[in-house]
Amino acid sequence: MIAIIDYGMGNLHSVSKAVERLGYETVITADPQTIAAADGAILPGVGAFGDAMQNLRETKLDEVAQAYAASGKPMLGICLGMQLLFSQSEEYGTNDGLNLLPGKVVRFAGDYKIPHMGWNKLSFLQEQSPLFSGLTEGHVYFVHSFHAKPELASDLLATTDYYQQVTAIVGRGNVYGMQFHPEKSGELGMQLLGNFLALTSSERS
Amino acid sequence: MLAKRIIPCLDVKDGRVVKGVNFVNLRDAGDPVELAATYDQEGADELVFLDISASVEGRATMIEVVKRTAGEITIPFTVGGGISHVDDMKRLLRAGADKIGINTAAVLNPTLVQEGSRKFGSQCIVVAIDAKFNAEWGEWEVYTHGGRKTTGIKALEWAREVERLGAGEILLTSMDADGTKDGFDIKLTQAVSDSLGIPVIASGGAGRIEHFNEVFQQAHADAALAATIFHYKEMTIREVKDDLRLKGVEVR
């Protein structure tokens, strides 16, 4: 069973459907026990970092997510969910994140279109990552105005190029994050999501 | 660098895909969900559903179409047509739409753009602008109500205004080019695209494969939308992308 953590931010339906299409049972839930018992957890999210952390704190799901990461079972943050994995964000004031990955989330700034929205090409920095097993670099769908700057190069698995190197996939041990939307990224997105799900002990139907 | 996007548009009425030809005849082109899945497989980068239902029942059907589509496709999609309240937006986004298109309602009530973008994020709010050249002004005018009403508003000013209000993207339809198949409106698209910091989707006029290259290279559009040529298989999305790739335009 794959738990999709519901903390009131964004549309969880598409992620859930994508997981189902890949052959896994999934549940959209805010229940700490259900999350803790799941074989894999996905932290989705669309919206503002501060609101998201506030929602997580009020429901104590921040502690649930941190405990899940510590349990060693695979966990994936998507879009805002990836940014929440970091220590801090400067979106509308400074806000602390889940602090599972050292680094901060900063605003895009420059004479170019913001949000970074659309299909951009991934560069795999760590080919040996199980997420990239059997895959070749291609385009995935991004929508974001803030981007993460991991402190450690070892946490950065893939980047894309948007007037600078932009964090696209991060990972440390069992904790992964994707800045783009794998569920909206065509075949490559589904394959990346599939490779993450394959790391869980969840049975594929 | 971002890939240029090719976006088929599906006009949906009471749960079925139709396309207005000369604004009068409607030809039935099938089930929206099935068509959406086909376009996804053919390499469409995004989809737009334009709900042209006139009735409450028709609109309720659209929610079902959105739900089914979200479960079937792996690319983002926008729903537009008759959306005039934040609650409408919420319902559609909840059902699985990625973006909401607003047109007439934004002109009548510009705060809707602000409310929508604050509540759901700029990336969810696409403001559709129907523009037609006004010879007296020497520039383009905004039309509403499906192109039936003039507004006295200059398209360039309106585009800048909705950007300021929080629109994440502009879907720009040239009423002069729409239906002609003579190519996108290069001047209009370039004027809007070059004066904004948000992406512009060019719409109206696609007839031949080279039109796509023109609108990207000359008019600096971020995406190009077309309906008829794709629905009636005059060309496929793959063919358009192969041609663009040959001409040095980055596509997925």
DSSP string, A142-158: EEESEEEEES-GGGEEE
Q: Which residue is it, tokens 């077309």?
A: B226
Compute the half-sphere exposure of residue B106: CA atoms within 13 Å on the CB side of its CA.
32
Query: Which of B:168-187 have CB within 8 Å of A?
Result: 168-169
User: Nearest Cβ partner of A184 from B76, B120, B197?
Assistant: B76
B249 burial level (CB within 10 Å; 0-12, 13-18, 19+): middle
B141-176 residue pLDDT tens: 999 998 999 999 999 999 999 999 999 999 999 999
Q: Do B96 and A13 make contact, defined as CB atoms within 8 angstroms?
A: yes
| Residue scoring higher pLDDT (B182 or B26) | B182
* Contact yes or no for A77/A105 (Cβ under 8 A): no
Tell whether A124 is within 8 A of chain B (Cβ): no
Tell whether B235 is within 8 A of chain A (Cβ): no
How does the average pLDDT of chain B come out, rounded?
92
- Chain-centroid distance of CA B83 in Å reads 14
B148 burial level (CB within 10 Å; 0-12, 13-18, 19+): exposed
Three-state SS for A84-134 is CCEEEECCCCCEECCCCEEEEEEECCCCCCCCEEEEEECEECCCCCHHHCC
Q: Is-catalytic flag, A58?
A: no
Q: Is-catalytic flag, A127?
A: no
Q: Do B199 and A162 make contact, defined as CB atoms within 8 angstroms?
A: no
Q: How far apart are CA B6 and CA B40, in angstroms?
A: 11
Q: What is the rounded average pLDDT of the residues A24-44?
A: 97
Tell whether B89 is within 8 A of chain A (Cβ): no
Q: Do B71 and A17 make contact, defined as CB atoms within 8 angstroms?
A: yes
A58-87 residue pLDDT tens: 999 999 999 999 999 999 999 999 999 999
A144-199 residue pLDDT tens: 989 999 999 999 999 999 999 999 999 999 999 999 999 999 999 999 999 999 99
Q: Confidence class of residue B29 from pLDDT cuts 50, 70 and 90? A: low
Tell whether A28 is within 8 A of chain B (Cβ): no
Tell whether A190 is within 8 A of chain B (Cβ): yes
Task: Return the amino acid letter for A103.
Answer: G
Non-local CB neighbours of B152 within 8 Å, separated by 6+ positions: B141
Q: What SS3 class is residue B148?
A: coil
Non-local CB neighbours of A70 within 8 Å, separated by 6+ positions: none
Q: How far is B96 from chain A (nearest CA, A)?
A: 6
* Contact yes or no for B195/B160 (Cβ under 8 A): yes
Q: How far apart are CA A174 and CA A57, in angstroms?
A: 22
Q: Do B2 and A47 make contact, defined as CB atoms within 8 angstroms?
A: no
B236 burial level (CB within 10 Å; 0-12, 13-18, 19+): middle
Q: What is the pLDDT, as a whole number, of residue B21?
A: 37
Q: Which residue is it, tokens 């989707």?
A: B201
Tell whether B3 is within 8 A of chain A (Cβ): yes
Interface mutation vs chain B, best among A4, A12, A13, most B CBs within 10 Å: A13
Q: Please list every residue in chain A whose beta carbon sits closer than 8 Å to the beta carbon of residue B98.
A: 11, 14, 184
Compute the half-sphere exposure of residue B204: CA atoms within 13 Å on the CB side of its CA.
21
Tokens representing residue B159 in the block = 């585009």
Q: How far apart are CA B12 and CA B10, in angstroms?
A: 6
Q: What is the pLDDT, as a whole number, of residue A9?
A: 74
pTM above threshold 0.95: no
Size of interface A-B (CB pairs under 8 A): 83
Tell whether B76 is within 8 A of chain A (Cβ): yes
Task: Return the amino acid letter for A132.
Answer: F
Q: How far is B23 from chain A (nearest CA, A)?
A: 31
Q: Do A118 and B223 make contact, defined as CB atoms within 8 angstroms?
A: yes
A120 burial level (CB within 10 Å; 0-12, 13-18, 19+): buried
Q: What is the pLDDT, as a whole number, of residue A12?
A: 84
Catalytic residue (one of A79, A91, A116, A147): A79
Q: Is the dihedral of CA B229, B74, B221, B153 positive or negative?
A: positive
Which residue in B94, B104, B148 sits closest to B124, CA to CA? B94
Assess whether pLDDT exceeds 90 at residue B24: no
Non-local CB neighbours of A198 within 8 Å, separated by 6+ positions: A130
User: Nearest Cβ partner of B96 from A14, A141, A145?
Assistant: A14
